[in-house]
Structure 1
Amino acid sequence: MGAVLHQAVTLQFKATNNQAEYEALIAGLNFALSMTVKRIQVFSDSLLVVNQVNQTFETKDEVLKKYLRLAKSLISMFEDFSLTHVPREENQVADRLAKEGLPDLRRTQVFDRPSFECTEVSSEERSPCWMDKILDYLRNGAQPDDGREARKLKLICAKYTLINGELYRRSYAKPLTKCLRLEEASKVMEAVHRGECGTHARGRSLVMRILRQGFFWPNIHKDAQVFVEKCPQCQYYADMQRQPAGYLKPINSSWPFAIWGLDFLGPMPTAMRGYKWILVAVDYFTKWIEAKPLTQPTAQNVENFLWANIVCRYGIPMVIITDNGTPFANQRIHDFCGKHQINLKYASVWHPHTNGQAEAANKNILNILKKRLDGARARWPEELPGALWAYNTAPSEVTQESPFSLSFGMEAVIPVELEHLSPRVEAAANFEPEALQAWMEQNDDSRRIDLDLLEQKRELAALKRLEHKRRVERYYNRKVNPRTFDQGDLVLKRRLLAGSNLGVPKLEPNWEGPYIVREVAGPNAYYLMTSEGIQIPRSWSGDDLKKFYA
C-alpha cells in the first residue's frame, strides 16, 4: 500500500454544504493533478455531488452548475476516473479530518472565494462591461461605425456623465446615481439587503433602497429578485404557503366495500373500561361507517378491527387508506395486508385531505355524539352504536340514498316506523295469517326486484357523487398555485412540531432543510432525502414544500 497524504481546505466565504462538497472534490482533483496522477478513484459521502457528476441527477442550481463544469474540466485531464458514493460511517478518515484536523497535516489551502471564480478571473477581466462603451464615448468620443448604433449610443449616453473619472447616471430617484460594475453591484445588494442596516427587503423594495442610496446598474430589478430568491434567511423564514400546490384528484370506488379509509378519533373523555379512542372505518362507495371504542391506538387493535369488523363482515377490500400514524404505519399491519393482498396506502405527512373520507366520517360521528350526550361525556361508548346506526340509515344530500340502502338494497326499519306504523309496517301488522302468507310471498317478489334494481340504484348514486366531486374539484382547483418538483431538486420542508397545530414558535424559522427530492411518489407527493443520502420516511405533500435556491 502506498503513502497516505492528507490535505485540508479552509473556506473563508459563505458556502452551502453542497458547495463545500464540490470545493473538496475540486481541491482533491487539483492535488492529484499536481502529482501527475493519471488514474484516480474518488469516494464521497455527498449523494448529490456524486449523482450530479455521474449525470444521474440533473443540476439546476446556477452556482452548482459552475462547480460541475469546473469539476468535469478537471476530470477530463485523467485517463481513468470514477466517483463512488459511500455512507458517512465508511468515510471516517475524511470525516474526522473535516471535523478535527490531524496533527501531521502539512497541506492546508485557504480559499477566499469559490474555485470557479478563480478560473473565471482572467476571462472576466477581458470580458466587456456594460459601462465600457459609455465610458469610451464620454472620454474619447468613440462611436460605432454603424450609423444607427452610433445614434443609439448617443441617446443612451445623454443620461450619463463623468465626475472625477467615475460614471454617473441622471435618474428620478436622485439627481445622480453612481454606476456600478456587476461585481460591485453584488456587494451593494449584499450590504443593503442583509448588512448592518439591512431589513431583508424584497424585490422592488430592495431596488428602491439601492437607488435612493445612489447606485445604479442595468437589470437592477432582475438581479435584486434573483439575489433575494437565494437569500437563506429569506427562504427559511418565509411565510407559510396558503395556496395548495397540486390539483385535487378525487378517489373513486368502483363497487361497495372495495376501498376503506381508516382513522382514529380521539382522545375522547375517559369512559368506562378506560375507552379513550374510536377507530373509524368508512367505505368510499356507500359511505358506510364502522367504528369501535378502544383503550389505546395500537397495531394489535387495528389488526383485530380489520379482521373482525371489515374482512369478516364485508370481504377482503382492495385498498385501505390511512394516515402515517404509528398504529397504521408498522410491520404488523403491512404483514396483515400483504397476507390478504390488500393494497395499503398512506396519506402524505400532515396532509389529511388525502384520506378525506375518514376525516369526514370522524367529523360526522363526533357531531352526532355531541348532540346525544347532553353533557354526560363519559357515556360516549354507549351512544356510539346508536350514532353509527343513525348515520348509516340517513339519506345522503348528494345521492338521496342512505349507506344502508346502497349496501343492502332497501331502507332499514327504524323505531319511528314502529311507533307510528309506517305503511310497510302497518300492512304487515294488519294481515290475517293466510293473507299475511300471501303478502310475504308478494313481498319476497318485490324484494327480489329491489335486488335486481340495486345495481342500477348504485350506478345512479355513483353518477350523482361523481358530479358532486367534479363541482368540488372545480372549486378547489381555482385556488391552486401549481408548484411541481423534479427528482434532484433542492427543497425546504415546512417545519412540523410534534403534538402542535399552532405552528412554530416566534423567532424560529418556518422551514427546514434543504432536502433533495429523491422520487416523485405521485401527483403532488414526493419522497425526500438529506444531502448525505439519508432517506426521509414516508411521502410529503407538495403543499408543505418550497423550492430552495442555493
Structure 2
Amino acid sequence: MDLITYLPKSQCHDTLSYDSIVTFVDMLTKQAIFIRANKSITSQQLAHVFIDHVFSKHGLPSVIVSDRNPRITSEFWQTLFTQLGSKLNLSTAHHPQTDGQTEITHRTIEQILRAYVSPQHDDWATWLPLAEFAYNSHVHSSTQQTPFLANYGFHPTTPSSLLLPPDTTINPDATSFLDNLRDVQDSIRHQLDLAKARQETQANRRRRPLTFTVGDRVRLSSDHLPLVEYPSSKLRPRFLGPFTINKMVYPNPDQPIDTWEPMRSLSKLIAFKDFLSSPTWSTFVQTPAYLSFARLYKTKIPKVVHFAILDDAT
C-alpha cells in the first residue's frame, strides 16, 4: 500500500480535483487497485479508502506492507490494525526495495497514464479506472498470469470479447472451477519463486559498473530535474536526450541536481540507442519514378512510388 503524490491537478466526472493516487497491490496475484486522492489525505480518510475499496471486496489481509510514511505510521493506523488483528510491516527508511512490488507498480501505472494523458497532464483522473483495468488484464512477468485470472479464475468481459463467438465447450461445475483456481494459484507461487531468483540475478547484473567513453551518446534520467516545460514530474519522460559525453571525471561526480551544471553521475545515464533514425534527403536520389494506381470505388489512389537509396559505396 502506498501513495503516488505530486501529480498535476486533475478533475473527474465528480467535479472534484485530485493530485494523488492511493495504490493497493496483492502480493500473490499482483492485482492492483488505484484510487484517486489528494496528498493532503488524512489517516482517517485513508482508512476509509481502504475499507471502501479493499476490505469490502477482499476482506482484511493478514499483512500490509507500506513505506515509512507519516500517514501510515500514525497512531491511528497502528491502533486500527491492532484492533482488526492485522500486522503492519514497515519498510526500512531510505530503502524502498522493501516495498519494491508497489514501487514497480507505480512505475507501470505512470507509464500507462503517459500514453493517454493530454499535453497539459490534467485528465489523468479520468483515465485512471481504465488504466487499472489495463494493468490487471496484462500478463504479469512474475506470475505468468493476468491479475484478473489469478484472483478470480477467469478474465472479465471486454468489448472485444463480445465480438468473438461464445465458447460452448467450457461448462465447469463449482468443484472443477475451484480446482482450476487452486491450480492457477499454485502455478503462480511457483512462478513467483522463479521470478524472485531471476530478479536477484538481474539486480546483481545491473550492479556492474557502467562504462562510457568520451563521445558516447547517452540519455539522462529526468528524476529530480527542475523541468518547467513539463507540468508533472510523474508523467514526464523518464529519460532526456540524447547528449554527448564531452569529458570523463574520476571518481564519478554526484553533483546537486538543481545546479544544472553539465556534470552527472554515471548512475543517471543510459546508453542512447537510435532506433528511430531516418535517412536524410541527401541519401535519396529519384530514379525515373512512376506511380502505379489501384482502382477503389472509382477513385485513383497512388499505390507505389519508386526511389533509389545511395549507400556509402556509391
* Cα contact 2:144–2:191 (8 A) shared by 1: no
Of residues 139, 144, 147, the one that matches 1:403 is: 147
Distance 2:255 2:178 in 1: 51
Distance 1:411 1:387 in 2: 16
Identity of aligned residues (%): 24
Q: Residue in 1 aligned with 2:47?
A: 303
* Cα contact 2:30–2:140 (8 A) shared by 1: no
**1:208-227 to 2 correspondences below 5 Å:** none
Q: After TM superposition, which residue ranges in structure 1, 4 or more long, deviate above 4 angstroms?
A: 477-480, 501-506
Structure 1 position 504, deviation (Å): 9.7
1:271 aligns with 2:2: no
Of residues 75, 84, 98, the one that matches 1:354 is: 98
> Of Structure 1 and Structure 2, which has the larger fraction of its residues in helix?
1
Q: 1:447 to 1:363 in 2, by over 3 A?
A: farther
Q: Residue in 2 aligned with 1:130?
A: none
Structure 1 position 398, deviation (Å): 3.5
1:460 aligns with 2:167: no
* Cα contact 2:23–2:33 (8 A) shared by 1: yes
Distance 2:53 2:93 in 1: 27
1:285 aligns with 2:24: no
Of residues 403, 414, 422, the one that matches 2:164 is: 422
Q: 1:502 to 1:316 in 2, by over 3 A?
A: farther
Structure 1 position 443, deviation (Å): 5.0
Tell me the alpha carbon deviations over residues 287-306 of structure 1, each in whole angstroms, 9 at most, x when there is no partner. 01011111223212221122
Q: Residue in 2 aligned with 1:412?
A: 156
Tell me the alpha carbon deviations over residues 300-359 of structure 1, each in whole angstroms, 9 at most, x when there is no partner. 222112211121111110111111111111001111111111110111111111100111
1:319 aligns with 2:63: yes
* Cα contact 2:28–2:188 (8 A) shared by 1: no
Q: 1:503 to 1:280 in 2, by over 3 A?
A: farther
1:371 aligns with 2:118: no
The amino acid of 2:203's aligned partner reads Y
Q: 1:381 to 1:474 in 2, by over 3 A?
A: same
The amino acid of 2:41's aligned partner reads P
Structure 1: tracts of 5 or more residues without a match:
1-261, 428-438, 481-500, 507-550
Distance 1:349 1:341 in 2: 25
Distance 2:34 2:205 in 1: 35
* Cα contact 2:143–2:188 (8 A) shared by 1: yes
Structure 2: tracts of 5 or more residues without a match:
208-253, 260-314
Distance 2:57 2:255 in 1: 40
* Cα contact 1:288–1:403 (8 A) shared by 2: yes
Q: Residue in 2 aligned with 1:252?
A: none
The amino acid of 1:462's aligned partner reads R
Of residues 197, 221, 225, the one that matches 1:470 is: 197
The amino acid of 2:20's aligned partner reads W
Q: 1:389 to 1:475 in 2, by over 3 A?
A: closer
Structure 1 position 399, deviation (Å): 3.0
Partner of 2:73, secondary structure, is coil
Distance 2:66 2:82 in 1: 15
Distance 2:4 2:121 in 1: 15
* Cα contact 1:286–1:406 (8 A) shared by 2: yes
Q: 1:345 to 1:399 in 2, by over 3 A?
A: closer
Distance 1:423 1:337 in 2: 47
Q: 1:443 to 1:334 in 2, by over 3 A?
A: same
Partner of 2:79, secondary structure, is helix
Q: 1:479 to 1:379 in 2, by over 3 A?
A: closer
Tell me the alpha carbon deviations over residues 356-384 of structure 1, each in whole angstroms, 9 at most, x when there is no partner. 01111111111111111242521111110
Structure 1 position 445, deviation (Å): 2.9
* Cα contact 1:265–1:277 (8 A) shared by 2: yes
Distance 2:153 2:256 in 1: 47
* Cα contact 1:365–1:387 (8 A) shared by 2: yes
Distance 1:270 1:306 in 2: 22
Partner of 1:378, secondary structure, is coil
* Cα contact 2:91–2:98 (8 A) shared by 1: yes
Distance 1:377 1:302 in 2: 25
**Whose radius of gyration is greater, 1 or 2?**
1
Structure 1 position 450, deviation (Å): 3.1
Distance 2:21 2:145 in 1: 26
Structural RMSD (CA): 2.6
Q: Greater shift after overlay, 467-476 or 386-395?
A: 467-476
Distance 1:387 1:475 in 2: 28
Tell me the alpha carbon deviations over residues 107-143 of structure 1, each in whole angstroms, 9 at most, x when there is no partner. xxxxxxxxxxxxxxxxxxxxxxxxxxxxxxxxxxxxx
* Cα contact 2:3–2:22 (8 A) shared by 1: yes
Distance 2:111 2:258 in 1: 32
Partner of 2:44, secondary structure, is helix
1:450 aligns with 2:188: no
Structure 1 position 274, deviation (Å): 2.4
Q: 1:324 to 1:504 in 2, by over 3 A?
A: farther
Q: 1:286 to 1:274 in 2, by over 3 A?
A: same
The amino acid of 1:314's aligned partner reads H
Tell me the alpha carbon deviations over residues 222-244 of structure 1, each in whole angstroms, 9 at most, x when there is no partner. xxxxxxxxxxxxxxxxxxxxxxx
Partner of 2:110, secondary structure, is helix
Q: Residue in 1 aligned with 2:130?
A: 386
Aligned length: 209
Q: Residue in 2 aligned with 1:131?
A: none
**1:528-543 to 2 correspondences below 5 Å:** none
Structure 1 position 413, deviation (Å): 1.4
